[in-house]
Amino acid sequence: MNKVLSAALLSQTILSVIAAGAIALFTAAPASTQSTGDLAGRTSDEVERFCGNIIDAARDRRYSLQAAELAKLQQDVDARIRVLEEKRAEYEEWLSRREAFMKNAEESVVQIYRKMKPDAAASQLSELRAEIAASILMKLDARVSSVILNEMETKAAAALTSIMVSAARPKDPT
């Protein structure tokens, strides 16, 4: 806050000096005693000296304004980062709860199909989406899966087997 006040006072001081210099320039001597060339030369010299004298103050003022703006922008960015970090933490917590729920649900479903009669399991799995049915069969013991696949229609069993094989095959890096 002090920097802002001192910067405002500095800018007011600079403006006052400029106004006083301009008034002194035009009221210094009567025009009849000076030639036009002398006045222009003197005015030019005084303006250059004046500008040379205030250049450091003007530069400092500009730098202080830029620094204040950068500090404000940094605070805004930091606040946004904090909000994003809070959202990320919230999302990670939600995701971990969801994954735990899904793992428990998967285990329960697999246990259900493991205990079902093969013909009933085959008919139930035939009604599910192929990807879900294949994932369930992959989690079952190979002996149980083979009995269930044996009870299914040939086309449905072949489709599920194809999905299971493609899922088990390592990805080709090329």
Classify residue 106: in a domain, yes or no: no
Classify residue 174: in a domain, yes or no: no
What total number of domains does the chain contain?
Answer: 2
Of 81, 145, 86, the closest CA to residue 113 belongs to 145
If asked whether residues 45 and 13 sit together in one domain, one would say yes
Classify residue 103: in a domain, yes or no: no
Mean pLDDT of 2-14: 58
Structural domain that includes position 76: 1-27+35-93
* Residue 123 neighbours by CB distance under 10 Å: 15
What is the Cα–Cα distance from 152 to 131, expressed in whole angstroms?
16
Classify residue 50: in a domain, yes or no: yes
If asked whether residues 2 and 88 sit together in one domain, one would say yes
If asked whether residues 68 and 135 sit together in one domain, one would say no
Classify residue 101: in a domain, yes or no: no
If asked whether residues 2 and 86 sit together in one domain, one would say yes
pLDDT value of residue 46: 81
pLDDT at 136 over 70: yes
Q: Which residue has the higher pLDDT, 169 or 115?
A: 115
If asked whether residues 84 and 42 sit together in one domain, one would say yes
- 3-class DSSP state of 117: coil
- The encoded tokens of residue 145 equal 């899966």
If asked whether residues 65 and 120 sit together in one domain, one would say no
Mean pLDDT of 94-107: 83
pLDDT value of residue 86: 96
**Residue 35, phi-psi category: left (phi > 0), alpha (psi -120 to 50), beta (remainder):** beta
pLDDT value of residue 31: 47
